[in-house]
Structure 1
């Protein structure tokens, strides 16, 4: 077993000798969501590196940090490949439901598409608190997980040919768009995502270069930490604590191991 496969399994708590059939991906995705946080700390601290397989292994699996979509889904893509899955990466555009428009940053979201028994599924480990936690078929079928309901809708547009829609548990009563993505332009070279990292780090409209953000799912909800607040969702009940810098560092270590 190579380094990436062994280290990834150790990070999320899967035995080295355990095979991973398609039916086990639900469990793997849940463990990943609870173990590896979505965070922008390297962007905020101006400590980014080139997006390469080696750098991602070092950042996420050796130093045990988290990352943004282009990092989290890239490392999971490599893990899927190592475990025999027919997988590619794809780019998409995030939809901002508050203003009902796609973000002007363009195709800065990265997601994963896998093919199993002639059916294509979307997998995402890098969408913050909006993770499906299961493979979502491109057929339009609704899947239900511990995080809500998710489906893929065929929709040809300038942003791609499909959209991910979701109703998050305890949060949404109606379907909302997560992002559009393009299944016709598969990506296998993660160096393409250096352009995304530059946009995320430098663009004035980027939501991830303003203040630190770190979030991960839990068994009963989610945790989200910024430089001035700590928000917990537990069984549908939200609590929010205002914090200072000392408390930020304390919570960062306590809940995210950073």
Structure 2
């Protein structure tokens, strides 16, 4: 068993001898979502490294950090491949609900497409607190997980041929678009995601190069930390604390296990 496989299992609390079946993927996704923070601290501190298997292992499994979509889904992709799954990485464009349109920075979302018994599923652990905690079939069926409902619609757009839709628990009453993705634009080469990292780090309209952000799911909601506030969703109840830089470091360590902020 590879170092990546062992370290990934250890970090999310899966026994090293447990066979990872398709039916166990929901448990893997839940554990991953509640362990790995979605965070941009390397972008903010200008300490990014090229996207390679070795660098991902060091950052996320040895140093116990989190990452953005292209890091979180890449490390999960490698774990799935090493456990015998047929998976590939796909690109997408996130929908900006404030501007009522897809993000102008283009295809900067990386997700996973997994084929099981001739059926294709979307698997994503890199969409902040909006991640489906189960594989979502491209056939259009609704998947219900602890944080909401998800489905995929076949829709040809300028950004891909399918759209992920979601209805988040305690937040949404109607379906809303998460992102469009392209099943024709896939890769097994994570180095191709370096372009995404460059855009996220440098583009003036990137949502992740302005202020620090750390978020992850919990068993009852989610936590979101920025340089000015700490927000907790617990069973649909929101509490928000205004913070300073000292408090930011304390909370990053306490709730996200990040001690190098």
**Structure 1, unaligned stretches of length 5 or more?**
none
* 1-structure distance, mates of 2:143, 2:112: 17
Which whole-Å CA distance do the structure 1 matches of 2:92 and 2:34 have between them? Answer: 24
What CA deviation, in whole Å up to 9, does each residue of 1:194-228 have, x standing for no partner?
11111000110000000000000000000000001
Q: Residue 184 of structure 2: SS of its match in structure 1? A: coil
What are the ranges of 5 or more consecutive residues in structure 2 without an aligned counterpart? none
Alignment of 1:95-114 (within 5 A): 95-114=95-114
Query: Structure 1 segments of 4 or more deviating over 2 A?
Result: none
Q: Cα deviations across residues 3-46 of structure 1 (Å, max 9, x unaligned)?
A: 00000000100000011110000011000000000000000000
Q: How far apart, CA to CA, are the structure 2 residues paired with 1:41 and 1:78?
A: 23
Q: Deviations over 1:71-111 (max 9, x none)?
A: 00000000000000000000000001122100000000000
1:38 equivalent to 2:9? Answer no
Structure 1 CA distance, aligned partners of 2:193 and 2:74?
A: 9
Structure 1 position 184, deviation (Å):
1.2
TM alignment of 1:1-258, pairs within 5 A: 1-258=1-258
Q: Distance in 2 between matches of 1:187 and 1:174?
A: 33
Once residues 213 and 10 of structure 2 are traced to their aligned partners in structure 1, the CA distance between those partners, rounded to angstroms, is 25
Alpha-carbon distance, 1:157 to partner: 1.2
SS at 1:67 equivalent: coil
Deviation at residue 142 of structure 1 after TM alignment? 0.3
Instruction: Give the SS at the match of 2:185.
Output: coil
- Secondary structure, aligned partner of 2:210: coil
User: Following the alignment from structure 2 to structure 1, what is the Cα–Cα distance between the partners of residues 158 and 245?
Assistant: 42
3-state SS of paired residue (1:110):
strand
If the length of structure 1 is used for normalisation, what is the TM-score? 0.99
Q: Distance in 1 between matches of 2:184 and 2:253?
A: 41
Q: Over residues 150-180 of structure 1, what are the superposed CA-to-partner deviations in whole Å (9 max), with x where a residue is unaligned?
A: 0000001110000000000000000000000
Question: How far apart, in 2, do the equivalents of 1:201 and 1:89 lie?
Answer: 20
CA distance in 2, matches of 1:46, 1:99: 28
- Separation in structure 1 between the aligned mates of residue 243 and residue 6 of structure 2, nearest angstrom: 37
Equivalent-residue separation in structure 2 for 1:227 and 1:96 (angstroms): 22
Q: How large is the Cα RMSD of the aligned pairs?
A: 0.5
Q: How many residues end up aligned between the 2 structures? A: 258
Secondary structure in 1 aligned to 2:254?
Answer: helix
